[in-house]
Structure formats: C-alpha cells, structure tokens
Amino acid sequence: MISGGNATIFVSNMDAAIDFYTGTLGLKLTNRFGDAWATVEAGRGLTIGLHPASPTYPAPGTKGAMVLGLEIDEPIETVIARLNEKGVSIKGSITEEDAGKFASLEDPDGNQMYLWQTSFDAAAASEFART
C-alpha cells in the first residue's frame, strides 16, 4: 500500500541545512529546487525533505515538532567522536536500552534527532520482521 515517503524538516536556511545534513552527517543530496525544497537520503529508504520555514508550518527548531532517528552501522562512540570534530555536540549522554544505544543531538535550527546503534538482538529481530 504505502511504498515510501519522507520525514519533512522545516528549516530557516536551506544552504545551512543542506551543509549540515550532507557535509556534517554525510547524507546524500538527491534533489534541490532552489530554496523551495531539497531531499537527502539517509539509507535504507529514509528520505529527509528539507522545507523552508513558513507561517503555515511549525517554526524550525520547535521542540517536539519533529524528531528524526538515524540508525548507524558503526559504534556510536566512533560516530559521536567524528561529529564532535565537526562541531556537533551531543545532548546528554549515551543511553542504552534493549533496542540498542542512543544519543541525542540537534541540527542548526534546534530540531531534535537521535543516533541509534542497534543491539545484536534488535538487528536480528528487524531482519526477521522483513522476511
């Protein structure tokens, strides 16, 4: 029924947003229509749509209006160290749950996101669910 989609993030500056999501996080820019819309691919079917701020939509950085989860395929400590080198600070500390390890951060507009390093069991369960 549903074959795709995207997470839309409202941004105050398209150039800064694209630089953060591609240059800092290393995601691939797949479309850009000036300052009206851009998309970046985050792997395994997650498309992030970057939309300019507008009075019709939530203000960029509004807490709780958007949370983006980014699954990572290497140790979370390694990813955090790389992001720290690029000036990104992690909010709080790494938390560990049954599903894996998590760390919170924000984009330049204050939009909340988290990194997720799956645990072995969560990865196996996820693969089982796809079959």
C-alpha span between 29 and 97 (Å, rounded): 32
Here the tokens at position 34 are 């000036």
Q: Vertex 6, ends 74 and 126: CA angle to 5°?
A: 45
Structural tokens at position 4: 């795709």
Model confidence over 12-55: pLDDT tens digits? 999 999 999 999 999 999 999 999 999 999 988 889 999 998 88
The 3-class SS string of 7-55 reads: EEEEECCHHHHHHHHHHHCCCEEEEEECCCEEEEECCCCCEEEEEECCC
**pLDDT tens for each residue of 89-117:** 999 999 998 888 999 999 998 888 899 89
What domains can be seen in the chain, in order of their start residue? 7-55+66-130 (3.10.180.10)
pLDDT of residue 123: 45
Question: What's the confidence (pLDDT) of residue 67?
Answer: 79
- pLDDT score of 124 more than 50: no
Split at pLDDT 50, 70, 90, the class of 118 is: confident
d(CA 94, CA 76): 8
